[in-house]
Chain A
Amino acid sequence: MNAPVSNTAIELRNVEKSFGVTKIIQNMSLVVAKGERHALIGPNGAGKSTTFNLISGYMKPTSGEVLLRDEVISHLPPYQINRRGLSRSFQVTNVFANMTVWENIRCAVLWATGQRYAFWKNIDTLPEVRERTARILTDIHLTARRDVPAGLLTYAEQRALEIGITIAGGADVILLDEPTAGMSHAETERAVALIRRLTEGRTLLIVEHDMSVVFGLADRISVLVYGQIIASGTPQEIRANPKVKEAYLGEEAA
């Protein structure tokens, strides 16, 4: 038999990140279990986006390690980490603006379907690529906008496309950075339903400011303040935690 497989999807071990003398992340340790929906919350400037950048390989930690399924990934470039099954979205919409919605999704499907850098195949006739792209497009409800350049979509549509690109490669660990930021109440509800459905059976780490989204979606929550995790637990535990109330939630509960 194999050695016991741990249940950890993402793990940060004593991670530090400084820019010059400014320490953004201080001695951070975090465990996200496989299959759970884990929310990372905290005030502005707490280092949430930096944490995402460290996990996804966009930045290298100053010290400490990041592990994906018990393998150290903190030395790898983003595309290597993505190929190992971790995919992230961006807080500021980050799509291929001059390409159509269809092409945007398709770009995110290509590597996962093994096309690599092929220059001898006609991209329009690859059945697996077409099928997968069509499925994702249907999932994010953008079929009607298939041939529109991504730069011309409405804000909410671009956010949906952002999520579509993130999940299209079939990664089983998904990082979403404020997916509902700037959305109306109705749009937020639709986005949450979408996220819930699309991350079914996968691991989700989400940064979110909207507390109704966080408490409605997350199995576990970690609270980040000034670059340190001050609490980690179930929504009930977090809500009851006096340190969290004082540092963060208190202001909103008042």
Chain B
Amino acid sequence: MTDTPHNAAPPLPALSDRLKFYAIWLVVAAVLIVLPKVFSSGGSLTTFSLIGISIIFALSYNILLGQTGMLSFGHAVYYGLGGFLVIHTINIFTANKTPIPLPLVPLIGGLTGLAFAALLGWVSTKRSGTAFAMISLGLAELVASSALILRTFFGGEAGISANRTKLLRVFDWSFGPQIQIYYLVAAWTLIAMVAMYALTRTPLGRMCNAVRDNPERVQFVGYDPHVIRYLAFCFAGFFAGIAGALAAINFEIANSAYLGAVQSGTVLFATYIGGVGFFIGPIVGAIFVTILSLGLSDVTPVWQLYFGLIFIAVVMYAPGGLTGLIMMHRPLIRAGTLGRVIPSYAVAFVPTLAMVAGLILVIECSVYAAHGDGNPNIRAFGVAFNAASPLTWGLAVVLLIGGFVVARRTWSRVAQAWDDALVVAREKGLAA
């Protein structure tokens, strides 16, 4: 083996790799264009728009959490302020007939997020960890309560609204129909995704990772971790502002809920459930959480409870998030040993499903018992059952406990099969 600096560097991406890379983005763009042709109902267009907004917001949050290691409890501040400013902007533009079309307006939301992040970020990014988390929480409370006090700007409880269709028209798009809003959101989602991905490939982006891993050592390679955290915070604020602007355009209203703790919590959820360790993690999380929250709220009144349970399960058993779970299998696929774990998954699936079904039954019956509004024949997840019947309770308990007892054994078999498969992958040098 020759050990010269020349071959010590990783090879520059070959032309084919670069083409492959651009091809991925082209495919994403194509999917975004075709999607409304396949699912053309008004409901799905709204869902897609919300997903796009959520993707931008979650990716911006991951600049903090996943890339730089900063846990923020107040990221919605920049999302919300972006939204409010955009509603005001639309109203001012409409009143003055300012010749700026709607597609450019989200940029104003982004600049608002950036401006407030630049203003509020310098102090809060001085420290990482608990101090940063607490300051972010404090600032979020401060801004959220200001939104209720400063009524002329924030509109109090009702919020403020705007008509998005009265701005300068280009290509004769009024942005009244949801399909036009969808394309507006899709275009901005694509731009924001490319921009935030590119950011991870820059000197600043890499130093963000270094600050996440070891802020102390960063100081001894010439960098000020405070400046790195501050810049990351500004970028996160900018993209959060764009997301908030798109949300405001989508709903034609901005209210105090935009900047509230729930909004900040939701983006943390989505990002973490998707997986903070991968660029696509927050994208997966945003899609998952948006669809789940829209879907679950239709089938059960306590959908937020299930959210909490999913979050706890991910934190405890899959700290890499959904993306982490999928990515875990990459070395096995490369080593060709995925076949060894699949049967154990299949075996574990049935009792685990029974356990989850039991848990859901117990929860739904308990909710009925707590509410007790007369009619015990309830439907949850599309299944009708009698929540007051001892039979249902019995079934629920049997499923939950029986499922758990059996499932526990199958889980250890999964772990066993997993270890075997990984050993082989290691021998082939395909896993660490």
Interfacial residues, chain A to chain B (CB-CB below 8 A): 56-58, 77-79, 82-83, 87-88, 90, 94-99, 102-103, 106-108, 110-112, 115-126, 130-131, 133-135, 137-138, 141, 143-144, 146-149, 152, 165-166, 168-169
Contact = CB atoms under 8 A, between A and B. Distances in A.
B202 A107 contact: no
18 contacts: A77-B219, A79-B218, A79-B222, A83-B222, A87-B221, A88-B220, A94-B214, A96-B213, A108-B221, A110-B222, A119-B204, A131-B9, A134-B5, A141-B3, A144-B1, A166-B220, A168-B221, A169-B222
B202 A56 contact: no
Interface string B178-218: 00000000000000000000110111111101101110111
B320 to A, nearest CB: 12
B3 A152 contact: no
A69 B9 CA distance: 34
Contacts of A118: 202-204
Contact of B209 (A58, A96, A121, A135): A96
Contacts of B6: 134
Contacts of B213: 96-99
Contact of B9 (A56, A116, A133): A133
B207 to A, nearest CB: 7
B202 A143 contact: no
Contacts of A88: 220
A218 B129 CA distance: 41
B23 to A, nearest CB: 18
B222 A112 contact: yes
Contact of B216 (A94, A138, A168): A94
Given A111-B223, A146-B8, A123 B214 contact: no
B13 interface: yes
A117 B221 contact: no
A99 B5 contact: no
B10 A147 contact: yes
B231 interface: yes
Contacts of A134: 5-6, 8-9
A77 B219 CA distance: 8
A137 B4 CA distance: 9
A102 B10 CA distance: 8
B267 to A, nearest CB: 22
B432 interface: yes
A123 B219 contact: no
A117 B218 CA distance: 13
A79 B199 CA distance: 23
A125 B216 CA distance: 27
Interface in B270-296: none
Contacts of B204: 117-119
Nearest to B204: A119
Contacts of B55: none
Contact of B222 (A111, A122, A130, A138): A111
B12 interface: yes
A117 B207 contact: yes
Closest 6 CB pairs of A and B: A111-B222, A134-B8, A78-B219, A134-B9, A96-B213, A115-B203
Interface in B1-54: 1, 3-10, 12-13
Q: Of B205, B213, B217, B220, which is in contact with the most chain A CB atoms at under 10 Å from its CB? A: B220
A88 to B, nearest CB: 6
A62 B33 CA distance: 65
A117 B1 contact: no
A251 B291 CA distance: 72
Contacts of A130: 9
Which of B4, B201, B223 has the largest count of A CB atoms less than 10 A from its CB? Answer: B223
A163 to B, nearest CB: 13
B5 A135 contact: yes
B65 interface: no
Given A102-B10, A131-B5, A79 B202 contact: no
Contacts of A115: 203
Contact of A165 (B203, B207, B217, B231): B217
- Name, among B1, B5, B216, B218, the residue most crowded by chain A CB atoms within 10 Å (CB to CB): B5
Contacts of B9: 102, 130-131, 133-134, 137
A90 B1 CA distance: 31
A119 B217 contact: no
B217 A123 contact: no
A213 to B, nearest CB: 23
A99 B213 CA distance: 8
B220 A79 contact: yes
A138 to B, nearest CB: 5
Contact of B220 (A56, A98, A106): A56
B217 A94 contact: yes
B203 A117 contact: yes
B222 A82 contact: yes
